[in-house]
Structures are given as C-alpha cells and as structure tokens.
Amino acid sequence: MPKTKLSRVEVRMTPEEKENLKRKAAEAHMTVSKFIIHLSQTKRVILKDDIAKLTVEISRIGRNINDIAYIGNYQKFINRTQLKVVSEYLSEVVELQKKILSAMFSDEDHTLITLEKKIEKLTKSVDSIGGRKN
C-alpha cells in the first residue's frame, strides 16, 4: 500500500534552473518530485571538513616521503626496491589528490569514505618505510 505524501517543500530557483531540473527528471523518466527525492537519497554532499581532513593526511604522507628522500640523500644510498615502492606511493598520493579535487568540483557521485580508507592505508605503508611512528 503506497504511502500518502502530504509534506511539501518549496525551493526557489531561476527559470533556467527549473527547466534544467525538469529536463533531467524527464531524461530519467521521473517526475520532478521523484527525481529530487532520488537524488537526496543517493547523492552524498561533500563537506569541506571531510576534504580538509583528507588534505591534511595527504600532506602528512608527503612529509613522510620527503623524510625518506632526506635519509636517502644523507646516506647517499637508496635501496632500489624501497625507491620503487616510495615512487608508487607518491603516484597514489597524486591520484588521491586528483580524486579529491574531482569530488570537490564535479557533480558526479564520489565516495569520500573510500578515499579516506585509501589514504589511511597509504599513510601506514609510507610510515612503515620511513620508520616513523605517529
């Protein structure tokens, strides 16, 4: 038995925004109401606080990689295997930064929880190579 919908929400928008919303709802074969409800249930709003935390973690990983480079330069020797691993981690950091920027400036659905887990894993890996304990 379908629920009776009695509540209303009013939203102010420009005529262009309204037409865009109607067009997107029609493309999805939905009413505007169903389209908005669907979006509210499936899309995640990206909070600036989440981005700030992730950015801090990425900066920390970068500092750890710099520490590893400093040790290598100081000792004038870097194990090729460790250098390759650090290089791979650095590539992961760059990819994570791109994903964060994409999440901030894109309408696509991105999962920051997934990024947080990747950053946490990367942090532990880089910490173990650099010998740092936080």
Tell whether 70 and 114 lie within a shared domain.
yes
Into how many domains does the chain fold?
Answer: 2
Is residue 6 a part of any domain in this protein? no
Q: What is the band of 63 on the pLDDT scale with cuts at 50, 70, 90? A: confident
Q: What is the band of 134 on the pLDDT scale with cuts at 50, 70, 90? A: very low
CB 126 within 8 A of CB 62: no
Tell whether 31 and 81 lie within a shared domain.
no
Q: What CA–CA distance (Å, rounded) separates 107 from 110?
A: 9
Is residue 4 a part of any domain in this protein? no
Tell whether 88 and 104 lie within a shared domain.
yes
Tell whether 56 and 38 lie within a shared domain.
no
Q: What CA–CA distance (Å, rounded) separates 50 from 112?
A: 8
The pLDDT of residue 92 is 80
As a whole number, the mean pLDDT across the chain is 76
- Report whether pLDDT(20) > 80: yes
**Average pLDDT, stretch 42-46?**
64
The pLDDT of residue 103 is 63
Name the burial class of residue 29, with classes exposed (0-12), middle (13-18) and buried (19+) by CB atoms within 10 angstroms of its CB: exposed
Structural domain span for residue 60: 48-130
The pLDDT of residue 44 is 63
Q: What CA–CA distance (Å, rounded) separates 108 from 102?
A: 9
What b-and-e string marks burial along 95-133, b requiring 16 or more CB atoms within 10 Å of the CB? ebeebbeebeeeeeebebeebeebbeebbebbbebbeee
The least confident of 5-14, 20-29, 53-62 is 53-62
The residue ranking higher by pLDDT, 16 or 111, is 16
